[in-house]
Amino acid sequence: MAIIPILIAWPALMALVIPSIRDTAIRGRVVYLGAGVVMALAAFLLVGWLQGGGGILDLVGPVPVIDHLMLAGEFALMALIVVLCIKYKKYPVILLSVAQTVLMAWSELTNPVESPTHLRIDCLTMLMIVIVAMVGGLICIYAVGYMKAYHHHHTEYRDRSGFFFSMLFFFLAAMFGVVLSENLIWMYFFWEITSVISFLLIGYTHTEEAINNSFHALWMNLLGGLGFAIAIVVAAQTIHTVQLNEVVADGAVIPVVLLAFAGLTKSAQLPFSSWLFGAMVAPTPSSALLHSATMVKAGVYLLIRLAPAMAGNMTGMMVSFIGGFTFIAASMMAIAQNDGKKLLAFSTISNLGLIVACAGIGAEETIWAAVLLMLFHAVSKSMLFQAVGSIENCLGSRDIEDMHGLLLRLPKLTYIMGIGIAGMYLAPFGMLISKWVALRAFVDANNYLLVIFLAYGSATTMLYWSKWLCKLVSLHHTKVQVTDVTRKDQYFSMYIHAGATLGLCLLFPLVSSKVVTPIIQELYGTAHEVLSMSVLTTMAIMLVSVLFVPALMFLLTRSTHRDYVPIYMGGANEGDNTYFVNSYGEPEHLYLSNWYLRFEFGRRRLMRPGVIISAGVIIVMMCVIIGGAV
Amino acid sequence: MMQVVSVLAYLLLAPLAGALLDGLDRRVSARMQGRQGPPMLQPFYDLKKLFTKQMIAVNSVQMLLNLSYLVFLAVAGSLLFAGADILMCLFILSTADLFLVMAASSDSSPFSTLGAGREMIQMMAYEPLTLLMAVGFYLATGSFQVGDIVRMPYSAVLTMPGFLLGFMFITAIKLRKSPFDLSTSHHAHQEMVKGITTEMAGPTLAIMNIAEYYEMVLMLGLMALFFLNEHWWSWPVAIAACLVVYLLEILWDNAAARVKWRVLLDSCWVVTLLTGGLNGLILMLVR
């Protein structure tokens, strides 16, 4: 297993090398190479691990040198934050950063806890490594083509692509670190790195908006980091361990609730959702990375790890309520978005809410659903972000209204979008099946509030995806010519994602039994099949019908003779289905808009009450839980 | 064996039953309005006429999407009549609806796009209750399988009257009855012509009509689930109850004016919460 340190070190090395390469063509090659090696390393690790029996592997005993280096690294991160905060006059953030770093240093120096194992590989870690390596690696490849086009369009921003790629690779390294760490102090170190890198990525363009949003993200994530740090200190003081596994097995109330709090901030749950859609100002590959493979997934990963310690207690109640509430609130706010990336951001928050709710319930079925949702969401969302980014580079806009009739203008990108959208909510794609299992598990867990949230949230989710899909498929001919400027490497990445989405759907029973069931087995010690045979049969029927009915109908109707007629437009159609004669007798351009229901579901209307309710619940519940445990 | 017979019966007889019900609907409506009304078999004559019409279309995909709508509804209904999982059946039902919405928006025509938008609002309005209803059946009978639900010793309606009321409320949406016939209606004298069906003509419209008949029978099948139990006499009771509900929907259709989308959404969501939500909560508490 010597490959594991390389898995973390290689992307970090790439991150150091890339900024020094000035020539864009060579840099592009180096990025391909770096991403390719990351994927290959992950594949080797997977194969090696499977050949070794695929069990739990504990690695890296006590190594004081690395511990000290990490402590130094934490101080370096703190120094970086302090300098940037002073530069941009965001003084309160300094407090958060200094407080947690000093706290950690004090605890490590005055009360050192012997740690038998620092890294650990099990099924969940392996799944995360594969997701991070594959999706993250493909996003890096995509970014090469994207950043060229981006700086071609946006000449107002300074080209810092080298820095951008460096940060992407650093992110991958940190993510590998987070999912591999068994020692909480190590995990905290990598956790902080992801916070700082996302802060640097969000501020990429150096506009005022970007800088404000990046500090917004920073303070929210540092708040979670502070919770993480206090959790470690409390665990070290009271139960004398900093091993994640032992903390979960012990069920120590205060560390678990604080770690869960950290997980909630990182996975952008209400009231901490605003940083994630503020992150939209950054170039698209970073959004794709933050939303699909890394960052927010670190939050839900931690919550899934904590799930056995949250089953049936107050912490679980808090987490599942926040998750369920975020699911419905974010899906309602998504309805009012006409900016493609913002809609995707709200949908991410909403889907993460469902995963968090599942983790909070902490039953076997819900964790099954949570892991599957995480997997499907990573692939579909990464693909959707990439497609929207490419569409934006072609159209010069990511407004959903401008995507009217995109099927005729950018057919390839539209098909990719279509697969992604279908993957997010339609039967029989994985997201829907997981939702179905979650619904049953919520009922079995006697949590009726979550059932209500899920029922209403599904309806609102359906609306915002459907209206986008309909916008894409309307066959509207316009005179505006669009050329597809998407580069080959971008398509390469998106095609693989599309293939993976379809493949995961086809191989669903296999994914369930070979990937997810072992994870449940490891987390709970037991696992029974969540999907019964009759359900699988039903799913097969659905799959066949969804894949083959439209195809069959296409073949059937292709040969039928039709006479094409112009559409009815109220005023006389000018003959091209685009202009009609208005009441002055002049040609008027047809403009069709989607429904956005802004006054009912707009962010302005729902955000504040949502934040107040969720913040109130978190504060009250945390007080009750911690007060009760002290 | 029983499953195969029942699915085949659904696939073959549902359009006939739907068309007959539609004929009855038109006659009863006419009588309520003091008119004679068309003959009972008028829907069949209409379909025959539509199929013989010239095949005109505004684009190449409308027919394909409409056919998909029809087939998905048939699949959803088959799942119900085969006694399979009720949640899956409802999920496919909304997938089917999506194909209708896509067919309407593919035209890029102002009236059908407006209708498609309204249809999506309607879907959003009724979906919470259908999902909660499935949960209600699970709480009341311990299973999501339709086959188990109909073999209970007593009818589900005894423990879930609230869900029945809520379902009757939203059935008006699915049957395209006033006050909830926002996206299209059976009458072409409204502010947005015929809504989603504006650009459908001839055979395409006929397919849409047949699909609606499948949907009608599917909805009545869901209604019947409330009344069925292991005794043979529950079947005639269920059929009679379905007919009564259908007549009530016709009465409501004739008595109420169309509402705006906001009223539709608010009323459906509130009614869902008050009927299904409360009923489900009680079921969960006494479980």
Q: Is the pLDDT of residue A546 over 80?
A: no
* Residue A454, pLDDT above cutoff 70: yes
Q: Which two tokens stand for residue B57?
A: 């279309």
- Residue A255 · residue A235 · CB < 8 Å: yes
* C-beta atoms of A473 and B139 within 8 A: no
- What's the pLDDT score for residue B118? 92
Q: Average pLDDT of chain A?
A: 88
Contact A474 B113 (CB under 8 A): yes
| Of B208, B212, B206, B200, the residue nearest B51 (C-alpha) | B206
Q: Is A605 helix (H, G, I), strand (E, B) or coil?
A: helix
**pLDDT computed for residue A145 by the predictor:** 87
pLDDT-based confidence at residue A550 (cuts at 50, 70, 90): confident
Distance from the A382 Cα atom to the nearest Cα atom in chain B, whole angstroms: 24
Check residue B131 and give its pLDDT. Answer: 92
pLDDT at A52: 83
A2 touches chain B (CB under 8 A): no
Among partner residues B57, B71, B75, which is closest to A564 by beta-carbon distance?
Answer: B57
CB of A426 less than 8 A from some CB of B: yes
**How near does any CA of chain A get to the CA of B141, in Å?**
13
Q: Is the pLDDT of residue A23 over 90?
A: no
Q: Where are the domains of chain B?
A: 2-286
Q: What pLDDT shows up at residue B8?
A: 92
Q: What is the pLDDT of residue A137?
A: 92
**Residue A428: pLDDT over 70:** no
**A427 touching B, CB under 8 A?**
yes
Indicate if the pLDDT at residue A560 is higher than 80. no
Closest Cα partner for A139 from A420, A497, A591? Answer: A497
In this prediction the ipTM stands at: 0.94
Q: Does B102 touch chain A (CB under 8 A)?
A: yes
Distance (Å, whole) CA A324 – CA B221: 32
Please say if the pLDDT value at position A434 is more than 90: no
B122 in A contact zone (CB under 8 Å): no
Hey, how many other C-beta atoms are within 10 angstroms of the C-beta on A234? Answer: 20
**What is the enclosing helix (H) or strand (E) of A581?**
strand A579-581
Chain A residues with beta carbon closer than 8 angstroms to that of B79: 538, 541
Number of H-type helices and E-type strands within chain A: 26, 5
* Per-residue tokens: A168: 């992407």
A565 touches chain B (CB under 8 A): yes
What is the dihedral sign for C-alpha B55, B58, B60, B64?
Answer: negative
Using a CB-CB cut-off of 8 Å, the residues of chain B touching A566 are 58
For chain A, report the end-to-end CA distance as a whole number of angstroms: 42
The C-alpha atoms of residue B237 and residue B224 are separated, in whole angstroms, by 9
Chain A contact present for B161, CB below 8 A: no
Over the range A171-189, which residues count as b (16 or more CB within 10 Å of their CB) and which as e? bbbbbbbbbbbbbbbbbbb
Q: Is the pLDDT of residue A1 over 80?
A: no
Nearest chain B residue to A537 by CA distance is: B84
Q: Does residue A200 have a pLDDT over 70? A: yes
For residue A362, give both structure tokens: 């902490």
Per-residue pLDDT at A223 exceeds 90:
yes
B124 closest CB neighbour out of A459, A561, A569 = A459
DSSP for chain B, please give it.
Answer: -HHHHHHHHHHHHHHHHHHHHHHHHHHHHHHHTT-----TTHHHHHHHHHHHS--EESSSSHHHHHHHHHHHHHHHHHHHHTT-BHHHHHHHHHHHHHHHHHHHHHT--HHHHHHHHHHHHHHHHHHHHHHHHHHHHHHHHS-SBHHHHTTSSS-GGGT-HHHHHHHHHHHHHHTT-TTS--S--S-S-BTTBTGGGTT--HHHHHHHHHHHHHHHHHHHHHHHHTT--SSTTHHHHHHHHHHHHHHHHHHHHHH-PPPPHHHHHHHHHHHHIIIIIHHHHHHHHH-
CB nearest to B79's CB, from A452, A474, A538 = A538
Interface probe with B: pick from A461, A538, A546, most Cβ of B within 10 Å = A538
CB-based contact (8 Å) between B16 and chain A?
no
Looking at the complex, does the CB of residue A447 fall below 8 Å from at least one CB of chain B? no
The pLDDT value recorded for residue B188 is 63
A506 pLDDT higher than 90? no
Q: Does B164 touch chain A (CB under 8 A)?
A: no
Q: What is the pLDDT of residue A108?
A: 84
Q: Which residues pair with B85 in a beta bridge?
A: B145
With a cut of 80, say whether residue A429 has pLDDT above it. Answer: no
From B97, which residue of chain A is nearest by alpha-carbon distance?
A466
Residue A570 confidence (pLDDT): 79
Least CA distance to B261: which residue of chain A? A597
What does the pLDDT average to over A116-135? 90
H helices of A111-183, where?
123-153, 161-180
- Give A515-549 as a 3 state SS string: HHHHHHHHHHCCCCCCCCHHHHHHHHHHHHHHHHH
Q: What is the 3 state secondary structure string of A409-432?
A: HCHHHHHHHHHHHHHHHCCCCHHH
- For A398, phi and psi rounded to 5 degrees? -120, 20
* DSSP label of A573: B
Q: Which residues of B touch A557 (CB under 8 A)?
A: 60, 63-64, 67
The pTM of this model reads 0.93
B9-24 pLDDT, tens digit each:
999 999 999 999 999 9
B236: preceding bond cis by omega (within 30 degrees)? no
Q: Convert the pLDDT of each residue in A351-383 to its tens digit.
A: 999 999 999 998 888 888 899 889 989 999 999
Tokens read off for A19: 């900024």
Which of B3, B135, B138 to probe by mutation at the A interface, max A CB count within 10 Å?
A: B135
Residues of A within 8 A of B138 (CB-CB) are 440, 443
Give strand pairing partners of A59.
A119
Q: Which residue has the tokens 């950018």?
A: A410
Q: Look at residue B100 in the predicted model and tell me its pLDDT.
A: 93
A408 φ/ψ angles, rounded to the nearest 5 degrees: -85, -25
Chain B residue at shortest CA distance from A573: B109
Of A446, A469, A553, which has the smallest distance from its Cβ to B284's Cβ?
A446
Q: What is the DSSP letter of A269?
A: -
Listed residue (B177, B167, B179, B173) closest to B242, CA to CA: B167
As a whole number, mean pLDDT of residues A141-147 equals 89
Cα-flanking dihedrals φ and ψ of residue B82, to 5°? -85, -5
Q: What is the mean pLDDT of residues A6-25?
A: 88
Question: Considering only CB atoms, which chain A residues are within 8 Å of B65?
Answer: 550, 553
Nearest C-alpha neighbor of A516 from the set A305, A615, A370: A370
Region A81-94: mean pLDDT is 88
Q: Which of B95, B158, B149 is nearest to B127 (CA)?
A: B95
Each residue's pLDDT tens digit in chain B (287 positions)? 788 899 999 999 999 999 999 999 999 999 999 999 899 999 999 999 999 988 888 888 888 889 889 988 998 999 899 988 898 889 889 889 999 999 999 888 888 898 999 999 999 999 999 999 999 999 998 888 898 999 999 999 999 999 999 999 999 999 998 888 888 877 766 677 788 888 888 888 999 999 999 999 999 999 999 999 999 999 999 999 999 999 999 999 999 888 999 999 999 999 999 999 999 999 999 87
Contact A298, A175 (CB under 8 A): yes
